[in-house]
Amino acid sequence: MRNFKSASQKWYIVGLMMVFLSVALVGCGTEKSKEPAPQQNAQPVTLLVSAAASLTDVLADIEKEYQKEHPNVSFDFNLGSSGSLQEQIANGAPADVFISAAKNKMDALEEKDLIVKETRKDVVKNTLVLIVANDNDNIKNFADLENAKTIAMGEPESVPVGKYATEALTSLNLIDKLKAKMVYAKDVRQVLAYVESGDAEAGLVYQTDANISQKVKVAAVADENLHSSLVYPAAVVKESKNQAEAKAFVDFLSSDKATKLFKKYGFTVIE
């Protein structure tokens, strides 16, 4: 009887231990379920980014860098002249983020309450330059443009680089002398293409666009005092259905990783 009683006590103790262990495991499972889901399990999101054509190359690199931390986010870039993109958004075209090459295009949307004002930020600056073909030794400064046969520039009303070029040439008292020689382009990349192909003897583009071409060289750099501030603002579009994700991307544009890429392409980062 003594041995039987001892065995019973042992099984009783084992039973209690099993109960305590089960309760502990259930508790751990409950705590674990409260942890946030890992990023890779987040719902897939596609951000539609309307951005100035001059950002084409750097945005391709920024996209890759961003997706390392946000694998659930993919991008659809709508690249073109800032004026055309601004008009598209104003007319109801879908967009999550707008990155303009001119403040006045962003101002136009803000005045109509079409962007989330608190997300707006100036990201980078650029430089206006005069370019010619590599073998062109006839045009070495802005004054030499009077000897050029054709000059390419962006359409001033819709293409910011065209607006800056007009301001610079006006400041230099050259605009009236050169108007008959002008070939107008739909965006800065088309200006670059005109000079690369020889359809224009010279062109006015951003430093960052000149940097990516092996067929042109910079003949002159426009002093920043010759034109209005060449700043790129970014903001979340108010009608975006992905507000949180769009804001996260706009914030990323000022991160150390994005800053490194902007500098790589020749942009000046705004601190």
Percentage of residues in the chain having pLDDT higher than 70? 85
CATH class held by domain 128-226: alpha beta
In this predicted structure, what is the pLDDT of residue 271? Answer: 82
From its phi and psi, is residue 113 left (phi > 0), alpha (psi between -120 and 50) or beta?
left
Q: For the chain, give every domain's residue range.
A: 39-125+231-269, 128-226
**Binding site annotation covers 206?**
yes
CA distances from 128 to 59, 154, 168, 229 (A): 20, 12, 9, 11
Question: 39-125+231-269: what fold?
Answer: D-Maltodextrin-Binding Protein; domain 2 (3.40.190)
Tokens 């990201």 -> residue: 123
In this predicted structure, what is the pLDDT of residue 203? Answer: 98
- Per residue in 157-205, pLDDT (tens digit) is 999 999 999 999 999 999 999 999 999 999 999 999 999 999 999 999 9
Can you give the pTM of this predicted structure? 0.83
**Binding site annotation covers 164?**
no
**Binding site annotation covers 129?**
no
Mean model confidence pLDDT for the chain: 89
Q: Which residue has the higher pLDDT, 102 or 24?
A: 102
The yes-or-no verdict on residue 111 having pLDDT over 70 is yes
Please determine whether the domains at 39-125+231-269 and 128-226 fall in the same fold group of CATH: yes
